[in-house]
Every structure is written in structure tokens, then in C-alpha cells.
Amino acid sequence: MVWTTASGGQSAQADDRGGTRPAGADPTEGPSDPGPGTRVALTMVENVAVVRLNRPDKINAVDWAMLDEIGAVGARLKADRAVRAVVLTGAGRGFCAGLDLAEFARMTAGQSLPFDDRPPGSAINTAQRAVWVWRELAVPVIAAVHGPALGAGLQIALGADIRIVAPGARLGLLEVAWGLVPDMAGTQLLPPLVGPDVAKELVLTGRVVNGAEAVRLGLATRLAADPYASAMALAREIAGRSPAAVRGTKRLIDMAGQVELAKALAEEERVVRSLIGTPDQIEAVLATRHKRPPVFTDGGPPPSDLPCSPPSPGPKGDVGG
């Protein structure tokens, strides 16, 4: 994993595919074949984590080492409370072209399978973890998709909460052409988005759709000429909201249809009770009332230099992570 930070005034700047580059550099340039440990780049831009698939010469086609890195980066972000939103993108010409054909050849020869490597007692293998880890994050994950997002690439994007796609993006699950099925949680993530009938049509034919059709089908959230810029703008907006409210919102919406209604509604009440009167909830009200940017502490001591800050109402329960 490549780790960098970016902030205003530094010589490095966020590029239009995620990550950082020296000022004036080509946004598509990168190592021609990153070795193990460099296939995924992680950049912190304030409270937004930018995760960039980083094999641009192969249009970010994944091999087992890359899948393992993706899962490891996701696990790292799960443990980082400073992260308030994540943008998932790809370096170079596309998001991800799918499985590296060299890895596919080894797999069909029985030399390499991603299913044999999983944590003890885990029901999720390495390939599935590279997708499902984004569902497990307490904060929203936004995929910025340009170029191809095929097979494994589309399944990785399906792990995100929101998908912003370029009009010319190409999205599809091509496994049927290889005599296989989507094996990175795609069979579970696709039907709730597009409906079981459309999911079957897309998977059984391997049909590839462009960005506009992806939005029409519900496969993507919205179109943008520059998906990365749009994703970053949205991530920054979300990162500026109360962290506990953001975590609670994601968790509650993810519960919809997955648990009994009575349990979901009871949890909704529990979450709002845990938020009311906390320093961050009071700060949200004050910032809105005084038309100023909020300063959230996410459970820390309330700031003392803000106008009309009332005394802390005391500790409250946390929400969703």
C-alpha cells in the first residue's frame, strides 16, 4: 500500500483519478507494474480517505495480491476514527478492468485460488473481503468510476454506498463468458440495486452498459463528467456533517429490509436518543443558526471558542462504530 497525505499549500495535489501527484504531472502516470504492497494507494485529504486502485498499465486489473491489499486498506480505515468519508477510484484510464488474465490462467490451472485464504472462522474469503469490507465501514464510501468497471471491478464498486460514473464508463459482470459466476459478493449486492430480474439479465448475458444506462437501471447513483471531482465534493460535504449522525444514518439505511421492521424502528429510536443533546448535535444546531461552519469533536471535549456554546450535557452513547 502506498500511503500519502495531502493538504492545502503543499506541492502535492490531488489528481483527477485519486491519490496525489506533483503539480503539473500527468494524472494518468504511475508505476508501470507496481509490486506487492503498492497496488493500492491511500491518500488522506483532511478527513476524506482516497483509495486508488494503482495498476494503471493493466487498467487496474486485480490479482490476488491486490485483492489482499484492498481488504487490508479497508480494515485499516475501519479502525481509523478520523476518517469521515471514503472515495474509491482507479488510476489511469479506468476504474478496474476485472481479473488479471495471468491470474485467471493460474486459477484455471489450479495453481492459485482466492477462496483458500481467509481469516480463521471467517465466512468471507479474500476476494469477497475486497468488496464487503467497504460495506463494513461505518462511514460512507463513494466510488468514482471512469472507463471500464468490469467483472471484479464492478463488484468492487458495488461494495460502495454511492457510485458516481462517467457517461462513457463501461460497467458489466462478464463472468458468464468464462463459465463462472460473480464470486465477490456481486450476486448479493446487485439484486437490491436493480431488482432480481434485471440482475439475472445482466449476469446471465454479461451485457455491458454505459454510465447513463447504469444510472437508469439503478446500478449507479448519478452521472458526472468528472466522477472523481464530484465524489470528492460529496465526500467533503458528508465529512462536514456530525460524524455520529453520519455513522448512524449509514447503519440504519443498511438495516432496511435486512431485519424485522420492529427491530429496525427500535434501533432508529435508540440512535436518535443517543444523538439528542450531545455536544456535536448542539454544535450542528448552533452552526446552522449562526451560519458558520461547524466544528465537531466526535466525542471529544466541546470547543470553548465558539459563539453561544452551551455547557456539555454529559456523555451520550455512540452510534454505529
Q: Inter-axis angle of helices 243-255 and 261-275, to 10 degrees?
A: 180
More confident position, 211 or 299: 211
Place of cell 446471465: 204
pLDDT digits (tens, 9 = 90+) for 234-256: 999 999 999 999 999 999 999 99
Query: Residue 241 and residue 285: Cα distance in Å, rounded?
Result: 11
pLDDT digits (tens, 9 = 90+) for 285-300: 999 999 999 999 987 5
**End-to-end alpha carbon distance in the chain:** 24
Sheet holding 209-210: strands in order across? 148-150, 170-172, 209-210
Give every CB contact of residue 82 below 8 A, 6+ residues apart in sequence.
47
Alpha helices (H) in the chain, listed in sequence order: 64-78, 101-108, 126-136, 152-158, 186-194, 196-205, 211-217, 227-239, 243-255, 261-275, 279-290
Query: Residue 265 and residue 21: Cα distance in Å, rounded?
Result: 46
Query: Residue 169 and residue 166: Cα distance in Å, rounded?
Result: 5
What is the identity of the amino acid at 47? Answer: N
User: Quick one: CA torsion of 274, 85, 51, 223, rounded to 10 degrees?
Assistant: 130
The residue annotated as part of the active site, out of 29, 103, 136, 175, is 175
pLDDT digits (tens, 9 = 90+) for 15-41: 333 333 333 233 433 444 444 468 999
Which superfamily, per CATH, for 2-239? 2-enoyl-CoA Hydratase; Chain A, domain 1 (3.90.226.10)
* Domain boundaries for CATH 1.10.12.10 within the chain: 242-321
pLDDT digits (tens, 9 = 90+) for 161-205: 999 999 999 999 999 999 999 999 999 999 999 999 999 999 999
175 is catalytic: yes
Question: CB of 155 within 8 A of CB of 173?
Answer: yes
Half-sphere exposure of 125 (CA within 13 A, CB side): 10
Helix (H, G, I), strand (E, B) or coil at 177: helix
Q: Quick one: pLDDT at residue 103?
A: 76
* Domain boundaries for CATH 3.90.226.10 within the chain: 2-239
| pTM: predicted TM-score of the whole model, two decimal places | 0.83
Domain 242-321, CATH class in plain words: mainly alpha
What is the mean pLDDT of the segment spanning 223-236? Answer: 98
Give every CB contact of residue 105 below 8 A, 6+ residues apart in sequence.
none
Helix (H, G, I), strand (E, B) or coil at 12: strand
CA 87 vs. chain centroid, Å, equals: 6
